Structure 1
Amino acid sequence: MTPVIAIVGRPNVGKSTLFNALTKTRDALVYDMPGVTRDRQYAQASYDEHHYILIDTGGISDGDAGVDGSMAEQSILAIEEADLVYFVVDAQAGKTVADDYIASLLRSRGKPSVLVVNKIDGLQEDGAMAEFYEYGFEHIYPIAASHRRGINSLLEETLLPLCESEADDEKDSSNATSEANQRGIKFALIGRPNVGKSTLTNRMLGEDRVVVYDMPGTTIDSVYIPFSRNDKDYTIIDTAGIRKRGKIKEVLEKFSIVKTLQAIKDANVVIALIDAKEGLTDQDLHLIGFALSAGRSLVIAVNKWDGMSLSDKNYLKDEINRRMVFLKDYVDIHFISALYGSNVGHLFKSIEDAFKSANKRISTPDLTQVLKLATEDHPPPVSGKSRIKPKYAHMGGHNPPVIVIHGNQVDKLSGSYKRYLEKFFREAFEFVGTPIKFEFKSSINPYQQDKKTNTTPLKRYKEEKGSRTKSVRKNNQQRSRQAKQVNKTNKTK
């Protein structure tokens, strides 16, 4: 089995910095403020061809309450899942009451643990570690996670003993690589703060996997969680809520927004959550617009649908149809209750359909045939003295689908005609939940004169061809003279 290592400690001791150093990524959000990490985050990592699973956790403090209590519960769950625990303390701050509490907690759980003394940069190692020996841990490792000092020694002495024989290691390595590559469909939950993203995450997973608290901003970092449902693999990405730009004041919140936007670009499908009780806002539309601009497939979920009166429901439906008229024809809209699970299961069908549409592969003859039918049904307009003539189309990419159309003057097509083509192709090939991007490439007229150079493409081509011919002829003549000179020299000898 692949070893599992959990990183625990009180807030702001450098757990996420160590997580990033071990995974060689920046997946965990790092900021000089306690409580940045609130959910447990998983990652595949490897050292010396040995693969393992790493868990980053929120801080644990004695007497936690509210959201801090939920963070501590997540950390305790991570301890239960792990084969080994890295108990991280701060050498510069010294031993604290919270450290005492965590040490006693680990002893009571009986989980194999090692003490990791972080932030030793600028300190004498022996002096910095002295006060921590009274915890009674058999192994203590001094490190500076931000500078990667001591990381290799830590892994060599703690990870390698966890690994089995070399034959089993190779098998686990293969399985770990397969798990890392086969993550299934990645879908991100986006929305304003306190709209119910973490509640929906827990509902989909069937467990209290992320912290849920009735307070905006509970989720700070984007959390990637692989799981399986009905023998299908998925990765759900719980993101931080995004408020209006004018209300964002703290630097940490700006970092959270960057992580959310990165998660949108990293996902295959985006589920945009709307709070039914607050209604559709401009911020919801901005987030949806960003997801579509990034080329992500989209599913819309209107949460907190339970408990609303019939008149309020009808008003909200009319408002959504009015303000999202550009989406309702191809994006699935679900009215759900993440708290009670109403209609949550239907989201997976829409996720599957949107993902298949985004990765649909269509042959060039089929695309060209549909293009021909579209132009026959509604001919393109005239540009200048001649009519625009689309000739053929082919696929130029996937996720989102990119359709490349070639022809005469196709780059001069109006916006309305481009929207007509998009609707025609969408209906013909049943694209659901995904935007379609078009590229228009006009054929070059060899006899059209360039106003700047006073030449035509055909004339430039002949000049370049003549220049290349002269160059080749000159090189051949030079080689011939050199050969004659060599023969003459040989005969003289």
Structure 2
Amino acid sequence: MSPIKPTVVIVGRPNVGKSTLFNRLVGRKLALVDDTPGVTRDRREGAAQLFDLDFTIVDTAGFEDADAASLAGRMRAQTDAALGEADVALLVFDARAGVTPLDRHFAQWLRSHDMKVLLVANKAEGRAGEGGVAESYELGLGAPIQISAEHGEGLADLYEALMPVLDPIVAANALPEEEPDESPEAEEARRYAEPLKFAIVGRPNAGKSTLINRLLGQDRLVVGPEAGITRDSIAIPWEYNGRAVRLIDTAGLRKRARVIDKLEKMSVADTKHAVDFAEVVVLLLDATLGLEAQDLRIADLVLSEGRGLIVALNKWDVAADQSSLFQGVRKALDEGLAQIKGVPLLTVSGQTGKGLDTLMKVAFEARDAWSRRVSTSALNRWFEAALDRNPPPAPHGRRIKLRYATQVTSRPPTFVVFGNRTDELPESYRRYLVNGLRDELGFEGVPIRLTFRGGKNPFDGDR
């Protein structure tokens, strides 16, 4: 068990560089950054390191005064919730723009919280920010820490300010060192305890964020009737029945021809990156709209990246003619995803919670199959039986000889078959072997990669 890290939350008005600072501290571009105000809408967590300080950093939406029921109001509620869980707040303002009325309002609001607040003057490189730095003393939060998140300047000063606050928290959370246990049982337990990296993808307004909020049992993500609220992928640590999960919410994927906005293009690229990061992906469909060609394209993207796939019909509680809808989607998936049979199709409701326990059970089972390794002896017993049932063809009267198979890796399961004249093997025979692997060796619904290589078995005596 790892000690609990202290949490630092970045707050401030829109477009002062909060996400740029977040990316700087986590060491990679996890949050979307653009000149458009209000890009960040959900709070995002990441593992930050600043020299020898390790902590959890939280990026938040820009703070605005707005009605609680509006999108801006729901974004502000997420910022408020992040502050309630944090140990330190970094109030970021734009030194070049100076102190604005909204900065003053935010500083007054933060002073009412019982927590440590550090004032951060971003974009303070050069002389353009000197006036804003001088103005910021009126906020009553002490001397500002002058940085440039974009250029990485001033991080040593930020470290000096954070260290005396975070060190006592780290010391209080420290755990006694345990002797490592290298037994097979301990190794299996560690694998079991690895977080399931579980991404939820789909078209805009399919209910992805609502579904995650229902799983978490809290309003963790901003939701509403407006399509496209989620703009960047949000990874959320969670625990389901004692097992670690990393839930990943993503931006909705529309048809490529409709994606013309620069920010939406960035969101699409971020969603594809989230698929790369995931182990299992659930493609969420809106049951009131059924299956469309774009859904099949998204499914094909997931499978081409070699990830486990689950298809879930959301909003099932309000779907009409449920039986024919389910059968129609099942048939369309089987026909449209010819490269893989048996993709799990589930019915769920993010609004009511129906089917979510089944969804998580199937997700863990999909990862188990995706991670499965088959011993070489068991694999070749199956392989020899498959060749006996249906020998390879003999194009032009010349027999193709397949000698043996081996699994080179898992996640996704990847196999190599050795033989001679394998380049003449028809695609139909490759599909026969892939389907046999899936049906008989426990890889149902999992993408399988199978390649062929020439050359003889080095252990074969008739070389």
What TM-score results when the alignment is normalised by the length of structure 1?
0.85
Shift in alpha-carbon separation, 1:182–1:157, aligned structure 2, 3 A: farther
For the residues of structure 1 that align with 2:308 and 2:274, how far apart are their CA atoms? Answer: 13
- The equivalent of 1:452 in structure 2 is none
Aligned with residue 348 of structure 1, among 360, 365, 368? 360
- The equivalent of 1:489 in structure 2 is none
For the residues of structure 2 that align with 1:303 and 1:11, how far apart are their CA atoms? Answer: 33
- The equivalent of 1:36 in structure 2 is 39
SS at match of 2:417: strand
The answer to whether the aligner puts 1:136 opposite 2:133 as a matched pair is no
Aligned with residue 62 of structure 2, among 59, 62, 70? 59
Q: CA deviation at 1:124?
A: 5.2
Q: CA deviation at 1:188?
A: 0.5
The answer to whether the aligner puts 1:317 opposite 2:329 as a matched pair is no
The answer to whether the aligner puts 1:225 opposite 2:236 as a matched pair is yes
Aligned letter for 2:47?
A: Q
- The equivalent of 2:184 in structure 1 is none
Shift in alpha-carbon separation, 1:42–1:299, aligned structure 2, 3 A: same
For the residues of structure 2 that align with 1:55 and 1:182, how far apart are their CA atoms? Answer: 24
- The equivalent of 2:346 in structure 1 is 334
User: Could you give the per-residue CA deviations for residues 231-279 of structure 1, whole angstroms, max 9, x where no partner exists?
Assistant: 1011010000010111111101000000000100110000000111111
For the residues of structure 2 that align with 1:9 and 1:173, how far apart are their CA atoms? Answer: 39
- The equivalent of 1:265 in structure 2 is 276
SS at match of 1:350: helix
CA contact (8 A) 2:97 2:132 kept: no
SS at match of 1:152: helix
- The equivalent of 1:439 in structure 2 is 451
The answer to whether the aligner puts 1:46 opposite 2:49 as a matched pair is yes
- The equivalent of 1:371 in structure 2 is 383
For the residues of structure 1 that align with 2:233 and 2:71, how far apart are their CA atoms? Answer: 17
Matches within 5 A, 1:126-165: 126-164=130-168
CA contact (8 A) 1:38 1:220 kept: yes
CA contact (8 A) 1:62 1:101 kept: no
For the residues of structure 1 that align with 2:439 and 2:193, how far apart are their CA atoms? Answer: 31
- The equivalent of 2:74 in structure 1 is 70
Aligned letter for 2:327?
A: D
Aligned letter for 1:199?
A: T
SS at match of 1:210: coil
Q: CA deviation at 1:170?
A: 6.8
CA contact (8 A) 1:163 1:169 kept: no
For the residues of structure 1 that align with 2:273 and 2:66, how far apart are their CA atoms? Answer: 35
Gaps of 5+ in 2: 179-189, 458-462
- The equivalent of 1:25 in structure 2 is 28
Q: CA deviation at 1:169?
A: 8.1
Deviates more, 1:235-244 or 1:141-150: 141-150
Query: Percent of aligned pairs with the same residue?
Result: 40
For the residues of structure 2 that align with 1:34 and 1:166, how far apart are their CA atoms? Answer: 35
- The equivalent of 2:96 in structure 1 is 92
SS at match of 2:222: coil
Gaps of 5+ in 1: 446-457, 459-493
For the residues of structure 1 that align with 2:214 and 2:378, how far apart are their CA atoms? Answer: 42
For the residues of structure 1 that align with 2:373 and 2:39, how far apart are their CA atoms? Answer: 42
- The equivalent of 2:441 in structure 1 is 429
Q: CA deviation at 1:357?
A: 0.6
CA contact (8 A) 1:144 1:150 kept: yes
By percentage of residues, which structure has more helix? 1
The answer to whether the aligner puts 1:244 opposite 2:255 as a matched pair is yes
For the residues of structure 1 that align with 2:366 and 2:72, how far apart are their CA atoms? Answer: 37
CA contact (8 A) 2:98 2:131 kept: no
For the residues of structure 2 that align with 1:165 and 1:207, how far apart are their CA atoms? Answer: 26
CA contact (8 A) 1:7 1:85 kept: yes
CA contact (8 A) 2:203 2:253 kept: yes
Q: CA deviation at 1:167?
A: 6.6
What TM-score results when the alignment is normalised by the length of structure 2?
0.90
SS at match of 2:97: coil
- The equivalent of 1:291 in structure 2 is 302
Q: CA deviation at 1:173?
A: 11
Q: CA deviation at 1:338?
A: 0.7
Shift in alpha-carbon separation, 1:292–1:369, aligned structure 2, 3 A: same
Q: Tell me how many residue pairs correspond in the alignment.
A: 439
Q: CA deviation at 1:162?
A: 2.1
For the residues of structure 2 that align with 1:6 and 1:82, how far apart are their CA atoms? Answer: 6
For the residues of structure 2 that align with 1:392 and 1:262, how far apart are their CA atoms? Answer: 36
CA contact (8 A) 2:98 2:129 kept: no
CA contact (8 A) 1:330 1:431 kept: no
Structure 1 or 2, whichever has the larger Rg, is 1
Q: CA deviation at 1:117?
A: 1.0
- The equivalent of 2:217 in structure 1 is 206
What is the Cα-based RMSD across aligned positions, in Å? 2.3
- The equivalent of 2:83 in structure 1 is 79
- The equivalent of 1:474 in structure 2 is none
For the residues of structure 2 that align with 1:165 and 1:145, how far apart are their CA atoms? Answer: 25
- The equivalent of 2:420 in structure 1 is 408
Aligned with residue 120 of structure 1, among 118, 124, 145? 124
Aligned letter for 1:343?
A: G
CA contact (8 A) 1:353 1:433 kept: no
Aligned letter for 2:126?
A: G
For the residues of structure 1 that align with 2:408 and 2:250, how far apart are their CA atoms? Answer: 31
Q: CA deviation at 1:37?
A: 0.7
- The equivalent of 1:300 in structure 2 is 311
CA contact (8 A) 1:225 1:235 kept: yes
